[in-house]
């Protein structure tokens, strides 16, 4: 790779897959593969977040800079508190979520939790809510629904800890279809289920050529997600294992070393031939680039931002985790749903909360004019699956 500026790097991409050689791919948000700028090499102490991330949060959430910084601080505290609170709750644990308005972390517990358990959960830094169903019960119900054959009118399903139920999302115009109603009836037999409607079914995003630093495999076009030592991670629907990858300038980068879609939507590509990696999520000249310093998982309710080559920086909240998404190509499991919008060309891009990597863009519904929702494949799952190490600042 021969270039001198990070601001020219590509972002990850979503594509419509009929086969690995299907036309219609989309460029999307990327970490980067280029020399580090002064931001990447600065020896100063870590800031709460980059100016670009704060600007995007102010724009998308209607916050002041100090309010955005306060929200990130509260989310970092909540991220650190969740594991301790979950351990304290034990078998009574019912899930956790963050209130984005006041930054309060809430942990749900069942009625079996005694006074000592409640005290320990609060000591971890969380408020407590008593619920009927444990997280284990809800997870088991979702797992049973995962084994059902979902029709196209069913968009996704996941555990909603605040509602203490499994939420099944169906497309508004398809909710009365016989096959959708049959699926919902079977899902209700699996455990506590609530049905909600969304405007459209889930889909991957197809698009033609857009600006940014894409990579190519065959006639499929995608973009980089997060840098790892030895390569980068991206969406699995971008290419099959062994496929050759070319960079934005047509030069050889490497090959897909592993790829999974559907079922999962992740992949990783090795980097060589003069290309290299840096721990950066691109701002595309709209906002400064964001350094990546880790991959601590943000809780439900936390803010999260996405970098994509079509719509660039957009922010929203984490809405659900471990959601099963029903694409036309097949179901994808263990996804995280967000209120962040996306459009064709944003697929495979980086989702980040503060300076913590969260995942790579997979698909969604809607757009950035009328709104929508987008799912990402959690980055820690990708790292663990392939034994990779995130490249951090």
The mean predicted confidence, pLDDT, of the chain is 82
195 falls within a domain:
no
Could you tell me which of 198, 212, 195 has the C-alpha nearest to residue 155? 198
Q: How high is the pLDDT of residue 381? A: 98
The residue among 231 and 10 whose pLDDT is bigger is: 231
- Among left, alpha and beta (phi > 0; psi -120 to 50; other), residue 187 is alpha
Q: Above 50 in pLDDT, residue 16?
A: no
Domain that holds residue 369: 6-58+205-386
Spatial distance between the Cα atoms of 152 and 242, rounded to a whole number of angstroms: 31
SS3 label, residue 133: coil
**What's the whole-number mean pLDDT along residues 123-138?**
96
**What's the whole-number mean pLDDT along residues 342-370?**
88
317 falls within a domain:
yes
63 falls within a domain:
no
Q: What angle do CA 240, 153, 171 make, to 5 degrees?
A: 115
The residue among 264 and 201 whose pLDDT is bigger is: 264
Which of 63-72, 303-312, 364-373 shows the lowest mean pLDDT across its residues? 303-312
Tokens representing residue 377 in the block: 């494949």
Residue 273 — very low, low, confident or very high, per pLDDT cuts 50/70/90?
confident
**Helix (H) or strand (E) run with residue 72 in it:** helix 65-89
Q: How high is the pLDDT of residue 277? A: 83
Residues 69-108: tens digit of each pLDDT:
999 999 999 999 999 999 999 999 999 999 988 889 999 9
Tokens representing residue 39 in the block: 């931001």
How crowded is residue 13: how many other Cβ atoms within 10 Å of its Cβ? 40
Q: How high is the pLDDT of residue 47? A: 57
Q: Is 265 a catalytic residue?
A: yes
Q: How high is the pLDDT of residue 13? A: 32
CATH number at residue 304: 2.40.10.10
Tell me the DSSP string of 134-146. Answer: -HHHHHHHHHHHH
27 falls within a domain:
yes
Residue 285 — very low, low, confident or very high, per pLDDT cuts 50/70/90?
low
Residue 39 — very low, low, confident or very high, per pLDDT cuts 50/70/90?
very low
Residues 52-70: tens digit of each pLDDT:
778 888 888 899 999 989 9
Could you tell me which of 164, 228, 155 has the C-alpha nearest to residue 191? 164
Residues 21-37: tens digit of each pLDDT:
232 323 233 223 333 33
Q: Above 80 in pLDDT, residue 242?
A: yes
Q: Above 50 in pLDDT, residue 256?
A: yes
Spatial distance between the Cα atoms of 57 and 145, rounded to a whole number of angstroms: 35
Q: Above 80 in pLDDT, residue 185?
A: yes
Q: How high is the pLDDT of residue 60? A: 86
44 falls within a domain:
yes
**What's the whole-number mean pLDDT along residues 382-390?**
97
Residue 202 and residue 375 in contact, taking contact as beta carbons nearer than 8 Å: yes
* Percent over 90 (pLDDT), the chain: 56
SS3 label, residue 36: coil
Q: What's phi and psi for 352, nearest 5 deg?
A: -140, 145
Total structural domains in the chain?
Answer: 1
Q: Is 309 a catalytic residue?
A: no
Q: Is 255 a catalytic residue?
A: no
Which of 194-208, 249-263, 315-329 shows the lowest mean pLDDT across its residues? 194-208
240 falls within a domain:
yes
Is the full-model pTM beyond 0.85? no
Q: Above 90 in pLDDT, residue 135?
A: yes
The residue among 192 and 309 whose pLDDT is bigger is: 192
170 falls within a domain:
no
Catalytic residue among 32, 50, 133, 237: 237
Q: How high is the pLDDT of residue 287? A: 65
Q: How high is the pLDDT of residue 204? A: 60
**What's the whole-number mean pLDDT along residues 199-220?**
60
Catalytic residue among 160, 265, 289, 346: 265
Name the β-bridge partners of 106: 97, 127
100 falls within a domain:
no
């Amino acid at each position: 790779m021969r270039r001198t500026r990070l601001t020219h790097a590509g972002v990850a991409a979503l594509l419509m897959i009929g086969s690995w050689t299907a036309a219609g791919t989309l460029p999307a948000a990327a970490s980067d593969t280029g020399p580090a700028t002064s931001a990447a090499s600065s020896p100063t102490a870590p800031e709460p977040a980059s100016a670009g991330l704060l600007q995007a949060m102010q724009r998308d959430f209607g916050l002041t800079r100090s309010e955005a910084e306060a929200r990130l601080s509260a989310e970092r505290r909540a991220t650190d508190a969740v594991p301790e609170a979950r351990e304290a709750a034990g078998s009574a644990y019912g899930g956790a979520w963050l209130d984005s308005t006041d930054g309060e972390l809430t942990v749900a517990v069942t009625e079996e939790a005694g006074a000592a358990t409640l005290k320990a959960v609060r000591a971890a830094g969380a408020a407590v809510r008593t619920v009927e169903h444990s997280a284990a019960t809800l997870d088991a119900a979702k797992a049973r629904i995962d084994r059902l054959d979902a029709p196209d009118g069913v968009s996704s399903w996941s555990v909603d800890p605040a509602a203490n139920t499994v939420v099944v999302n169906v497309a508004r115009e398809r909710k009365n279809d016989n096959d959708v109603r049959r699926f919902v009836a079977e899902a209700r037999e699996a455990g506590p289920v609530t049905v909600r409607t969304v405007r459209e079914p889930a889909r991957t995003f197809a698009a033609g050529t857009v600006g940014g630093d894409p990579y190519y495999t065959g006639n499929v076009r995608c973009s980089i997600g997060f840098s790892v030592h030895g390569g980068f991670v991206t969406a699995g629907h971008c290419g099959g294992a062994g496929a050759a990858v070319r960079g934005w300038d047509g030069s050889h980068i490497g090959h897909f070393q592993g790829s999974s879609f559907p079922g999962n939507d992740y992949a990783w590509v090795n980097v060589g031939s003069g290309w290299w990696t840096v721990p950066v999520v691109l701002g595309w000249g709209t906002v400064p680039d964001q350094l990546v310093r880790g991959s601590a998982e943000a809780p439900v309710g936390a803010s999260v931002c996405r970098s994509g080559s079509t719509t660039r920086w957009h922010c929203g909240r984490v809405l659900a985790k471990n959601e099963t998404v029903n694409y036309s190509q097949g179901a994808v499991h263990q996804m995280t749903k967000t209120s962040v919008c996306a459009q064709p060309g944003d697929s495979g891009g980086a989702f980040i909360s503060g300076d913590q990597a969260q995942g790579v863009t997979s698909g969604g519904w809607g757009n950035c004019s009328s709104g929508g929702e987008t799912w990402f494949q959690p980055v820690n799952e990708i790292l663990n699956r392939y034994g990779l190490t995130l490249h951090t600042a």
